[in-house]
Amino acid sequence: MSMHRIMVYTRFERLWHWLQALAILTLLFTGLRIHGVHQLISFETAANIHTIVAIGLLALWAFATFWLFTTGNWKHYMPTKQGLWRIVRFYSYGIFQGENHPYRKAFWRKHNPLQAAAYLGLKVVIFPLIWISGLMYLYITSGGSWSGLVNFPPAIAWVHTLAAFALILFLLIHLYMLTIGKGFIKHVKPMINGFDMVDLSRVEEAYLEADEPGHIKDNAEG
CA distances from 63 to 26, 58, 123, 199 (A): 20, 9, 14, 30
CA gap 168, 174 in Å, rounded = 10
The tally of domains found in the chain comes to 1
- Residue 67 CB partners (closer than 8 Å, separation 6+): 12, 16, 73
Could you tell me if residue 137 is inside a domain? yes
Could you tell me if residue 37 is inside a domain? no
pTM attached to this predicted model: 0.82
pLDDT digits (tens, 9 = 90+) for 22-68: 999 999 999 999 889 999 999 999 999 999 999 999 999 999 999 98
Could you tell me if residue 222 is inside a domain? no
pLDDT digits (tens, 9 = 90+) for 172-207: 989 888 887 677 888 899 899 989 888 887 877 787
Domain containing residue 109: 2-8+75-215
